[in-house]
A and B are shown apart, each in its own frame.
Chain A
Amino acid sequence: MFNLILSGINKTDTSPPVGGVRGGLTQQIPNTDNVDIWLPNLPDNIRLNSYLGQYQIQSQFILKTTIMLLRHAIIGTDKSFFSPTDLAQIAQQYTINTHNKSKEALLLQIAAIEGVQKKAGFIPATFNTPLPIAAPTEALPLIPPNAIARLTQLLVTSPEGGAIISELLNLIAQKGFCVNPSVLPYLLNWAKNRKELHPTIAQVIGERGRWLAQQNPEWDFVQHTQQPQTNLDIDWQTATLAQRLPYIIHLRQTQPQQATQLLQSTWHEENAEAAKAFLEPMSINLSANDEAFLAMISTDKRKTVRTLILNLLAQIPQSAYQTKLAAYVDTLINVSKSWLMPTKINLQLPTQINQQLQELGVEEKTKLVSGNERINWLAQLIVRLHPNYWAQKIGDIPQTMSVINKTDWATELTQAITLQAIFHKHDTWLTFLYSHWATQPNNETYCQNIASSLSATAWQQAVTQCLGFADPLLYLSILINAQNLPLDAPQTQKIARLMGNKLLAHGVTNYYEATRYVPLLEKIALHIAPSNLAALHHEIQTLLDKLKEHPDYLSRPLQKTIETLEMRHQINTLL
């Protein structure tokens, strides 16, 4: 065929097909993966390896021709030492008519034929490694097609919608399904940096997903998630920190005392990094049983380690450390009483950091509250002191706050008590202080910190309390943004109506007012209980109808919220 094309020889084509090269040219190059040829004479040391690829070239002849042609094409036939005779000899190998042809024409024609021959003569390499074992048969049922479609759509088009995706994944896990193989790559990619979802992911990917994760090192989190602390057969003396830490966490969850004993056995050999790492899980199931060990190591010379130990001791209510703290604070705070009712606090601030203060963990330069360093020394003591101290020393929370407000250090003491309530996660104090700070100027940081520390029940109480405020939306938004907890139906309805009134009153003329709180509805829509979805949908739809003629910046976020609610409703009815 080539003779016909290149030379115009008008004859019946009797030449063997180009495909005859497959097996026709015999001299094969062994192990061609390692073919790595450099052309030192060329300016850029052009490497031919990638051109030749990782497949076998059938013929030494073709290989040599390829290199030679390319070399001369790069240099240029004008400058190269390639003689017409050289080319003619090669051309004859390809049965090309060389009569009256220039070097360039011959080179191009040989390259064309050689290119086709190389492709026609391709022989695949042999795979010598054993094939991976196939995935086991799936034990769990696959999610229905509409759920697959919805999950794929969420992962592909709105991967930022983490809350909705994780809600769907939790549902899949609860109902005992696993996801379809087609979704697995998207899901594993999406989940690799979302550590909090790894246990759920490991549950819903099924056998196929676990097999797939083994094939891709980027998804090895699946294996780690499956066997987090299960490797209990470690040698504590020789194991690495990475092996010992999950083991200690596991022990603290199941046999806290055994963990304490194990730590005690090697404590003096641990470096600062290990010591700090091991103290963190000590807060799991922390009790009076741990006090002896913590007290023993509380004189640790490493400052950061010592601080962590004292923090742990402070969290044991009846510990000797708490008693010492209370005794010292007693010497600084003197309460005057009239008719057995506390009327005034006299403060005697520390004048210097003495030995006793140092042992209690007070640091000279640490600044927790506004005011001078002496009030900050007292603040450090108060933060670690258990909040129940105030009940014994002064009275209930309103009484305590009332007395504190009369002192010259009212602001600083309130700040210290707030930090104390956050440190001890004391719900009663936190709920009270949230309302307190909500009435103060420049208070958002304290409100945010308190809102993040509230337990679920206290958080609900705080929301209800906020709904009684004259202008509650800011403080509600702080609470709602701090934690991903669901509101109940009456709370949801009230907030939606408050928002509606706000938007109708100010939204049209005040862009800031209109857009400030609208994301709150979106957040609520993401976290309300599925049973409340319809009620909120109704509220927002009513609001949207009222705002229909208003600008897009008002109706768009509300429309988005409606879509979120509809999507959640669909998800909750998929399985």
Chain B
Amino acid sequence: MLLESYTYEYVLGLSPSEGNANNGKKLSSAAHWTEQGCTDRLVWGLCKGSGSKPYRVSIDLVGPAYKCSCPSREIPCKHVMGLFLQYVSNKSGFTQTNPPDFAAEWLEKRQQRETAATEKANTPTTQPTAKNIADQAKRTEKRQQNIESGLLDTKRWIEDLIRQGLGNLNTADHHLWQQQAARLIDAQASGIANQLQTIPQSFYLPNWSAITLQTLSDIYLLITAYLQRQNLPLNLQADVLSLVGIAQKKEDIRLQTGISDCWTVLSVQETDFDRLTTRKTWLIGQNTQQLALLVDFIFQRQAAAPRLQVPLCFEQTMHFYPSSYPQRALPTNDHFVPQSANLSHLTPHPNFDAFLTQYANALAIQPFLAAADFPCLVAQLTPVYLNNKLHLIDQQNAQITTSLPYLFIWTLMAFSGGKPVTIFGEWNGTELRPFLAIDAQQQWLVM
């Protein structure tokens, strides 16, 4: 990335979480730093922390890459964020000087690694031999057998559950689900394992049995589809393989023809499970009106790709995963040069009926979408708070219910002031979770 193109928003996007970004902002005033400086490539500083010695922070602007002596597992940590934010907002406040030992040594090691990697990359790769190809085919076959065996076992297990009845499952030992999920993970069908593990989360709800039956039958449908996959159209096969948990290599996806456009960020949502954070970013192309979903997995809050800011735009080429209803995409690279927000290009559905027709058609093409959340962009919706719920009313007086946390309900109400707004969110088949609202003056609210 060009060093000059670092902006405040870009640096904020590097943060693994909102809390981390806020803490970084707090540390972005010079008062927290006892010493700081920079070279053309390196920025460093000493930040006073709770310990007796200040934390030593270094940022390599090529990358960017970071190092901090604090014990935080977050990458970048709040100290790095603080120094970086301060640097991009006030470069003149950093004097060009020789870096201290801790920063210079770290940069030297990085440079050594870079040289080694370049040398390796320049070494010509050997062509795969016939034996390699045969081994590869053997491994693929073994894996497919493994998955099939795991899925057949789960299919029988679900049938057994239905035979015995779901009646008391909510009080049964949760290991029941974990054990079956573990078997699926062993069989390399992690997608279905994840779906199975969500079932006990509904056990505290009054309609837990209905949710359990629905999830089990969705899984059953997916397993049946996998076992019959050779009869399905290629794109639907790809959907089934992906949902089962067979990941496609990013390099292969990027080989597909991409769609170049100026993409607007509509929402960024993160969910944590165990030590893994899943980040979902919805984008829309200004010219193509194509929606694209970026999915990033962040282990132990160590950000791999920058967190994009809603509703910034950037030029990029998106490569879509093969699917009968393509949504998930990969950018050509992780270098996003943000441009100012422009929401005037959006062409939302005029009402719920138009959106729901599109939704129904999407399910007709790819029925497994029913188990996932579906992007929804509808104009002229008036938020109304009634009976402890927030409803959105369209121009035809059709109403749908939203699932929003309490404060967001009132933030949206305050934003709209009783006037219609355009809403982007995710539809789960019964409720809408709004993420972005845009008013008539093109002002926006992120929820």
Contacts and interface: CB of A to CB of B under 8 A. Distances in A.
A552 B53 CA distance: 12
Contacts of A490: none
A111 B213 contact: yes
B367 A75 contact: no
A144 interface: no
Contacts of A112: 217-218, 220-221
A544 to B, nearest CB: 11
A426 B150 CA distance: 88
Contacts of B231: 4, 8-10
A116 B216 contact: no
| Listed residue (A120, A122, A209) with the most chain B CB atoms within 10 angstroms of its CB | A120
B397 A127 contact: yes
A181 B165 contact: no
B418 A131 contact: yes
A69 B160 CA distance: 16
Interface string B361-394: 1111101001000000000001011100001011
A46 interface: yes
| Listed residue (B206, B365, B400, B418) with the most chain A CB atoms within 10 angstroms of its CB | B418
| Listed residue (A1, A42, A211) with the most chain B CB atoms within 10 angstroms of its CB | A1
A300 to B, nearest CB: 48
Contact of A1 (B367, B382, B386, B418): B367
A185 B407 contact: yes
A575 interface: no
Contacts of B182: none
Interface string B157-184: 0111011111100000000000000000
Given A124-B400, A182-B414, A184-B414, A73 B225 contact: no
Contacts of B391: 127
| Listed residue (B159, B206, B214, B231) with the most chain A CB atoms within 10 angstroms of its CB | B214
A121 interface: yes
Contacts of B394: 124
Contact of B216 (A108, A128, A566): A108
Given A73-B213, A111-B213, A120 B360 contact: yes
A20 B394 CA distance: 22
Interface string A191-225: 00000000000000000110110011000000000
A445 interface: no
A211 B407 contact: no
Interface stretch (B62-70, B273-281, B340-348, B351-359): B351-359
B206 A50 contact: yes
Contacts of A119: 359, 363, 370, 429-430
A122 B400 CA distance: 10
B22 interface: yes
Contacts of A135: 417-419
A112 B363 CA distance: 12
A6 interface: yes
A126 B417 contact: no
A338 interface: no
Given A115-B370, A120-B359, A135-B417, A108 B210 contact: no
Interface stretch (A76-84, A304-312, A359-367, A481-489): A76-84
Given A4-B231, A20-B364, A126 B165 contact: no
Given A19-B360, A108-B159, A5 B224 contact: yes
Contacts of A107: 162
Nearest to A138: B417
A54 to B, nearest CB: 7
B167 A108 contact: no
Contacts of A6: 221, 224, 228
B90 to A, nearest CB: 16
A109 B221 contact: yes
A18 B213 contact: no
Given A48-B210, A126-B398, A108 B217 contact: yes
A134 B397 contact: no
A46 B205 CA distance: 12
B384 A127 contact: yes
Contacts of A1: 236, 364-365, 367
Main secondary structure of the interface of A (DSSP, over half): helix
B429 A17 contact: no
B104 interface: no
Contacts of B400: 55, 124
Interface residues of B, number: 68
Given A51-B207, A75-B167, A22 B418 contact: no
A105 interface: yes
Interface in B388-429: 391, 393-394, 397-401, 407, 410-411, 413-415, 417-419, 429
B363 A18 contact: yes
A19 B361 contact: yes
B317 interface: no
Contact of A124 (B22, B361, B365, B398): B398
B146 interface: no
B413 A215 contact: yes
Given A76-B162, A116-B367, A121 B398 contact: no
B367 A18 contact: yes
A186 interface: yes
Contacts of B357: 19, 22
Interface in B188-240: 205-207, 209-211, 213-214, 216-218, 220-221, 224-225, 228, 231-232, 236
B308 to A, nearest CB: 21
A5 B356 contact: no
A555 to B, nearest CB: 10
Contacts of A54: 401
A108 B162 contact: yes
Contact of B165 (A76, A189, A209): A76
Contacts of A186: 407
B360 A121 contact: yes
Nearest to A66: B210
A358 interface: no
B356 A122 contact: yes
Nearest to B358: A19
Contact of A2 (B160, B367, B399, B413): B367
A51 B211 CA distance: 8
Contact of B210 (A51, A109, A123): A51
B414 A102 contact: no
A9 B160 CA distance: 26
B271 interface: no
A2 B401 CA distance: 29
A102 B391 CA distance: 43
B444 to A, nearest CB: 10
B279 to A, nearest CB: 22
A46 B399 CA distance: 28
B129 interface: no
Contacts of A182: 411, 414-415, 445
Interface string A166-193: 0000000000000001101110110000
Contacts of A70: 209-210, 213
Interface of B: 22, 31, 50, 158-160, 162-167, 205-207, 209-211, 213-214, 216-218, 220-221, 224-225, 228, 231-232, 236, 352-353, 356-357, 359-365, 367, 370, 382, 384-386, 391, 393-394, 397-401, 407, 410-411, 413-415, 417-419, 429-430, 445
29 contacts: A17-B363, A17-B364, A18-B364, A19-B360, A50-B205, A55-B400, A55-B430, A70-B213, A74-B166, A74-B209, A78-B164, A79-B165, A102-B159, A104-B162, A108-B216, A108-B220, A108-B221, A112-B218, A112-B220, A116-B370, A122-B429, A124-B352, A124-B353, A125-B398, A131-B384, A182-B445, A188-B410, A208-B414, A209-B414
Given A5-B232, A78-B163, A135-B418, 17 more contacts: A16-B364, A22-B360, A47-B206, A48-B207, A75-B165, A109-B221, A111-B217, A112-B220, A122-B356, A122-B359, A127-B393, A131-B384, A133-B418, A135-B419, A182-B415, A208-B417, A211-B418
* A-B complex: 7 closest residue pairs judged by Cβ atoms: A19-B360, A76-B165, A17-B364, A134-B418, A185-B410, A119-B429, A135-B417
